[in-house]
Amino acid sequence: MTKQAVLSLEEAVSRIEPGSSIATGLALEHAIPFAAGHELLRQGIDDLTMIGPISDLLFDQLVGGGAVSRIRAAWVGNVSAGTGYRFREAVESDEIDIEDHSNFSIALALQAGAMGIPYLPTRSLLGSDVFERSGLFREEIDPFSGDRITLVPAISPDWAIVHVQRASPDGDVHLWGNTGIIDPAVGAAENVLVTAEEVVDPDVITSDPSRVAITHDQVTAVVECPFGAHPSPLAGHYNRDNEYYLEYHRRTKTQAAFDEWADEWVHGVSDREEYAEWIEADLSITEPIVAAEVRYGQ
């Protein structure tokens, strides 16, 4: 897909076609791109396959909004309250297809996709019950050691969506804090959408080249999207909105209740700036911790 300059969130997400596979929520409970997920719902982009390790609420919200037909993940729910009601109901009624993974097997599958190889081996799944729930994995004999191993097939998503602290207009990215499995997912994906708290001059990025986590040649679209990871935290910018997770749990026990919640929090806001006005909690970083200076030379 042809890369363009910095896009609006609406325009960037509109480039994702129905039926696409999307890897997201890749930094575990950190930097989850909720803003992009909500835009998928607003645009009615559906029949999606969602891929990730621990997506927290995002996958549950996308399921509740009717956007998902398949999930390939290690865990879906509400970290603060346990189950995600929309996901659970969809699974129990066979409305969506589930491919069960461990956190490590998702990481291996995306790494294999990034490497352009068909699978990667592991011993970690041996002895688990994942084989009873999925015919995806193959148990084989290692031709070198004679030991039993499991083969994890590659995953190559159509899109990876990540939220970061800052990016240049071209798509070079600074990202810090927990990064989870962003690196293999970006490498495996056909297209990468970056939402950033701020889009900065390229000189800001090149001033600290060791912190570049994603390079412009990997990125399809860049969006400036302050508060784009809320309610999840973003290191150095804002803390986790714990009350939001609990309120979501209380308000989404039925589909009708979810629809009412989504009318308020997703469809009832025109953009992320308006969305931020709804946030009551003070999530600001009150005691910033600054890393030691790094010196470069010419």
| Segment 250-281, tens digit of pLDDT | 999 999 999 999 999 999 998 888 998 889 88
The answer to whether the CB of 266 falls within 8 A of the CB of 60 is no
Is pTM, for the whole model, over 0.85?
yes
What separation, in Å, do the N-terminal and C-terminal C-alpha atoms of the chain show? 37
- Cα Rg of the chain, angstroms: 19
Please check the confidence at residue 92 and state whether its pLDDT lies above 90: yes
Q: Where in the chain is the domain with CATH 3.40.1080.10?
A: 9-114+156-276
The answer to whether the CB of 230 falls within 8 A of the CB of 241 is yes
| DSSP string computed for 195-222 | EEEEE--HHHHHTSGGGEEE-GGG-SEE
The answer to whether the CB of 188 falls within 8 A of the CB of 21 is no
Mean pLDDT along residues 215-227: 96
Closest by alpha carbon to 22, among 30, 11, 33?
A: 33
Check residue 5 and report its DSSP letter: S
- Could you say which of 3.90.550.10, 3.40.1080.10, 3.40.50.1000, 3.30.2310.20 is the CATH number of the domain covering 9-114+156-276? 3.40.1080.10
What stretches of the chain adopt beta strand conformation (E)?
21-23, 48-54, 68-75, 97-100, 119-122, 138-141, 148-153, 159-167, 173-174, 191-199, 212-214, 221-224
| pLDDT tens sequence across 194-218 | 999 999 999 999 999 999 999 999 9
Cα–Cα distance for residue pair 252/196, rounded to 1 Å? 29
| pLDDT tens sequence across 17-52 | 999 999 999 999 999 999 999 999 999 999 999 999
Side chain identity at 143, as an amino acid letter?
Answer: P
Report the percent of the chain where pLDDT is more than 90.
85
Q: Coil, strand or helix: which one is 137?
A: coil
